[in-house]
């Protein structure tokens, strides 16, 4: 049976070009800084994001954790959204491993945090309070429908951070999706941030890894923390090689994923009983729910779709997230729509 996997863009497999690059990669010991392929990947990512230096890490979760631990001391506070990936899906690492306190503000439907709410959350100097040290944003914002945060908004947050002497971290796991959707460069979106992570293993199709970028001084500190987290890899150029191919060849084609997400949303919108979230899809994610006429739960629909070879993610009792990626073509989109129609 042909499987159509729309659960996430994390299910992507490396392309043939990536497999060749991995097989032929020149390697060395990265803990000594001697893996030329990793060094090239780090330099390429930093250049694309307009930062001084980069650090190859095993995952976006490790990159965000290393960034926050590099910026904050134990007992410091980071302001982030209540739907942020770091808050919801990274196992509480900033608190468990870093002793960093979090202040969660409501994410608005467009993925932003209200500027006034951020200002109000910044702590006054007081022995009773944790020290506000960092603001963290997410672009695109996963749980807000894959929406892209604008350059202007990110600059506003940076201006506020500068006013209070704070730092700004950007979880840019899907930053290139945001850049394609907004018609701007990733460098423009990352420019206001003191640090930024990008994921290579989602829509860019590499098998593993993310890159954390920032100033040279920041990356030196983050590299030490990566080591503490067990992320000091040796001849990992075989992984970095795929990341180079991803950054050099897979960014512009993300527009195809966005187009197929629109095709998917259009097809699903014609099926009685399905309600698409307002504005979906913003990028490569389609969020939708079951209306009250459907007697099935989301999990039951997921099970029945799986029997037809279509995998989707349930993100609530009656809500789904479907994500397009390199391995989803037009035929797969149409087959998924047909399967939904059969199940409902």
Q: What single string gives the DSSP state of each residue in 93-125?
A: HHHHTT--EEEEEPPPTTS---HHHHHHHSPPS
Neighbours of 235 (CB within 10 A): 16
Q: Is it the case that residue 272 has pLDDT exceeding 90?
A: yes
Q: How far apart are the C-alpha atoms of 318 and 201, rounded to whole Å? A: 28
All domains in the chain, ordered by first residue: 14-249 (3.40.640.10), 253-343 (3.90.1150.10)
| pLDDT of 1 higher than 90 | no
Quote the CA–CA distance of 96 and 81 in Å, as a whole number.
19
Sort residue 277 into left (φ over 0), alpha (ψ -120 to 50) or beta.
beta
Q: Kindly tell me if the per-residue pLDDT of 4 is higher than 90.
A: yes
Q: Backbone phi, then psi, for 196, in 5-degree steps?
A: -150, 140
Q: How do residues 123-152 score in pLDDT, each as one tens digit? A: 999 999 999 999 999 999 999 999 999 999
Q: What's the predicted TM-score (pTM) here? A: 0.96
Is the pLDDT at 6 greater than 90, yes or no? Answer: yes
If we measure between CA atoms, which residue out of 76, 79, 48 comes closest to residue 196?
48
Q: Which residues of 297-333 are buried (b: 16+ CB within 10 A; e: fewer)?
A: ebeebbebbeebebbbbbeeebebbbbbbbebeeebb
- Rounded CA-CA distance 119/283 in Å is 29
Residue 132 bridge partners (DSSP): 77
**Do 281 and 148 touch, CB atoms closer than 8 A?**
no
C-alpha to C-alpha distance for 325 and 308, rounded to whole angstroms: 20
**What pLDDT is attached to residue 135?**
98
In angstroms, the CA 78 to CA 46 distance is 24
Average pLDDT over residues 23-43: 97
Residues 6 or more apart whose CB falls under 8 angstroms from that of 241 comprise 18, 21, 22, 24, 25, 37, 41
User: How many residues are present in the chain?
Assistant: 344
Rounded to an integer, what is the distance from CA 254 to the centroid of its chain? 14
In tens, the pLDDT along 192-235 reads: 999 999 999 999 999 999 999 999 999 999 999 999 999 999 99
Taking residues 258-274, what's their average pLDDT? Answer: 97
- Mean pLDDT within 5-25: 97
Distance between CA 116 and CA 135 in Å, rounded? 13
- pLDDT surpasses 90 at 58: yes
Other beta carbons within 10 Å of 343: 19
d(CA 131, CA 211): 28
Are the C-beta atoms of residues 212 and 67 closer than 8 Å to each other?
yes
What does the pLDDT read at residue 34? 96
pLDDT at residue 260 in the model: 98
Query: What are 90-132's pLDDT values in tens digits?
Result: 999 999 999 999 999 999 999 999 999 999 999 999 999 999 9
């Amino acid at each position: 049976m042909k499987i159509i996997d729309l659960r996430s863009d994390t299910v992507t497999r490396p392309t043939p070009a990536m497999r060749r690059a991995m097989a032929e990669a020149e390697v060395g010991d990265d803990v000594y800084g001697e893996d030329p392929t990793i060094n090239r990947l780090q330099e390429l990512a930093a250049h694309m994001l307009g930062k001084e230096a980069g650090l190859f890490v095993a995952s976006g979760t490790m990159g965000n954790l290393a960034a926050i631990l590099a910026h904050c001391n134990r007992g410091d506070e980071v302001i982030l959204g209540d739907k942020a990936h770091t808050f919801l899906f990274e196992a509480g690492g900033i608190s468990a491993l870093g002793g960093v306190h979090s202040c969660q503000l409501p994410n608005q439907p467009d993925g932003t945090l209200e500027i006034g709410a951020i200002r109000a959350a910044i702590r006054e100097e007081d022995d009773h309070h944790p020290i506000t040290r960092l603001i963290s944003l997410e672009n695109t914002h996963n749980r807000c429908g894959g929406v892209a945060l604008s350059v202007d908004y990110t600059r506003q947050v940076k201006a506020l951070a500068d006013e209070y002497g704070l730092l700004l971290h950007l979880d840019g796991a899907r930053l290139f999706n945001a850049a394609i959707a907004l018609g701007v460069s990733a460098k423009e979106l990352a420019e206001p941030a003191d640090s930024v992570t990008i994921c290579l293993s989602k829509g860019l199709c590499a098998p593993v890894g993310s890159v954390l970028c920032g100033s040279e001084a920041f990356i030196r500190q983050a590299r030490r923390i990566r080591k503490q987290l067990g992320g000091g890899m040796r001849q990992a150029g075989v992984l970095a090689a795929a990341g180079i191919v991803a950054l050099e060849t897979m960014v512009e084609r993300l527009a195809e994923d966005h187009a197929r997400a629109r095709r998917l949303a259009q097809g699903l919108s014609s099926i009685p009983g399905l309600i698409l979230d307002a504005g979906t899809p913003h990028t490569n994610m389609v969020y939708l729910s079951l209306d009250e006429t459907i007697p099935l739960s989301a999990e039951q629909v997921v099970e029945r779709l799986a029997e037809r070879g279509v995998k989707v993610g349930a993100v609530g009792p009656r809500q789904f997230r479907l994500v397009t990626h390199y391995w989803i073509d037009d035929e797969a989109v149409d087959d998924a729509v047909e399967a939904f129609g059969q199940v409902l």
